[in-house]
């Protein structure tokens, strides 16, 4: 398959204060998996094509989760790495834990309903679930380790001390090189990071937050908190699940993505696409430089809203 853009156009940046370098765009794999999980998911064959095309374009960082298509997203990434011999010493593999990985198609929220369905201890950030999750993720990915092991959400029912110690032990055991957090309140992130630092445990190097032109609430507390700790922000849903690219326009897609690339507080947006055409167009944002006036014009209509995305 021909490259969809020259790999020389892609740049690489350090993730927070760590020494780990990631591509300026990260490929999110939530769209690749089992088509019976969600109607917008594409299957294995197409997913592998997307991963290879992204790699050929210079993207060497891939973000998935154990709950995406209940593990099939991780399996597809693992197969793509093997099938196309993607160099393990170059690529960055990121996955997440917290939610319920169901044994059949569907989505089940953590809590009493999950317990009743036979998923006791199979969600959240307990020590038991953290170690079971990394074990199963590595099996699905066919890897010995992941580069960044991330908490998908905050766990209100497990002590922070237990979670941070377990994540530290996962790193010490060699199952992950770094750890990251996703979608929580700034005070929760602050508490977890402070506990790790004050107890000489492994701290977070990254934070996945929802951030785009129509949802910028993270600018209030989360982004200053991340800057204080030297943690890299890698926002998900940069196009608000496609809302910002409807009706579809290559120009608007690249402009909206370019706004995020212009932010000093953002390391790399996590892009999600379902066609190779949109993958190519999104990667094209790397070559777009907006003026301050253009950025102001795009941001000006924003209206403050209630915080969401932590569910």
pLDDT tens for 26-42 read 999 999 999 999 999 99
| 133-176: pLDDT as tens digits | 999 999 999 999 999 999 999 999 999 999 999 999 999 999 99
Task: For CA atoms 163, 168, 173, 175, give the dihedral sign.
Answer: positive
User: Rg of the Cα trace of the chain?
Assistant: 18
Q: Note the pLDDT of residue 92.
A: 99
The HSE-up count of residue 296 (CA atoms within 13 Å, CB side) is: 3
Q: Give SS3 for 219.
A: helix
Residue environment code for 171-204, b if the CB has 16+ CB neighbours within 10 A, otherwise e: beeebbbbbbbbbbebebbbebbebbeeeebbbb
Task: Give the H/E segment covering residue 146.
Answer: strand 146-151
Q: Note the pLDDT of residue 86.
A: 99
Residue 23 phi/psi, 5-degree rounding, is: -70, 150
Residue 85 phi/psi, 5-degree rounding, is: 50, 45
User: For residue 196, what are its two tokens?
Assistant: 């790790």
Q: Is the pTM of this model over 0.85?
A: yes
| 227-250: pLDDT as tens digits | 999 999 999 988 655 544 444 556
Do 279 and 54 form a contact (C-beta atoms < 8 A)? yes
What one-character DSSP code corresponds to residue 202?
Answer: P
User: Which of 15, 63, 10 lies closest to 266 in space, CA to CA?
Assistant: 15
Residue 11 phi/psi, 5-degree rounding, is: -115, 165
Active-site choice (12, 32, 55, 68): 68
CA 240 to chain centre: 14
Q: Note the pLDDT of residue 258.
A: 86
Q: Note the pLDDT of residue 24.
A: 97
Q: Note the pLDDT of residue 7.
A: 44
Q: Note the pLDDT of residue 206.
A: 99
Mode of pairing for the β-strands spanning 92-97 and 232-233 = unpaired
Mean pLDDT, each 10-residue run in order, the chain (311 residues): 52 98 98 93 98 98 99 99 99 99 96 98 99 99 99 99 99 99 98 99 98 93 98 88 51 78 94 93 91 92 87 73
CATH topology assigned to domain 7-299: TIM Barrel (3.20.20)
Alpha helices in the chain (DSSP H): 44-56, 72-83, 112-116, 127-141, 160-172, 186-198, 222-229, 250-261, 276-283, 292-299
User: Which of 197, 211, 226, 267 lies closest to 21 in space, CA to CA?
Assistant: 267
110 cis-preceded (ω within 30 degrees of 0): no
Q: Note the pLDDT of residue 3.
A: 42
Residue environment code for 25-38, b if the CB has 16+ CB neighbours within 10 A, otherwise e: bbbbbbbbbbeebe
- In whole angstroms, give the CA distance from residue 193 to residue 311: 20
User: Which of 14, 12, 16, 13 lies closest to 202 in space, CA to CA?
Assistant: 16
CA 141 to chain centre: 16
Catalytic residue flag (residue 68): yes
Q: Note the pLDDT of residue 311.
A: 73
- In whole angstroms, give the CA distance from residue 134 to residue 139: 9
């Amino acid at each position: 398959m021909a490259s969809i853009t020259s790999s020389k156009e892609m740049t690489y940046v350090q993730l927070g204060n760590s020494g780990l370098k990631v591509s300026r765009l990260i490929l999110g794999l939530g769209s690749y998996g089992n088509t019976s999980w969600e109607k917008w998911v594409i299957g294995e064959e197409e997913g592998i094509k997307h991963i290879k095309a992204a790699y050929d374009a210079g993207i060497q960082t891939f973000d998935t989760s154990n709950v995406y298509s209940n593990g099939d997203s991780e399996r597809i990434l693992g197969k793509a790495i093997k099938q196309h011999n993607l160099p393990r010493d170059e690529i960055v593999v990121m996955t997440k834990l917290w939610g319920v990985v169901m044994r059949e198609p569907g989505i089940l929220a953590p809590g009493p309903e999950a317990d009743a369905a036979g998923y006791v201890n199979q969600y959240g950030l307990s020590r038991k679930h953290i170690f079971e999750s990394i074990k199963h993720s590595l099996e699905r990915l066919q890897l010995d380790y992941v580069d960044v092991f991330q908490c998908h959400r905050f766990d209100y029912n497990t002590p922070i001390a237990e979670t941070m110690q377990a994540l530290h032990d996962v790193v010490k055991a060699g199952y992950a090189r770094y750890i990251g957090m996703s979608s929580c309140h700034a005070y929760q992130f602050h508490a977890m990071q402070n506990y790790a630092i004050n107890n000489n445990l492994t701290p977070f190097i990254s934070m996945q937050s929802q951030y785009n032109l129509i949802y910028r609430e993270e600018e209030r507390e989360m982004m200053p908190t991340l800057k204080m700790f030297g943690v890299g922000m890698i926002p998900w849903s940069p196009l608000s699940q496609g809302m910002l690219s409807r009706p579809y326009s290559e120009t608007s897609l690249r402009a909206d993505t370019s706004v995020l690339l212009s932010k000093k507080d953002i390391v790399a947006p996590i892009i999600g696409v379902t066609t190779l055409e949109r993958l190519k167009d999104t990667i094209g944002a790397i070559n777009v430089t907006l003026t301050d006036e253009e950025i102001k014009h795009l941001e000006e209509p924003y209206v403050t809203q209630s915080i969401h995305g932590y569910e």
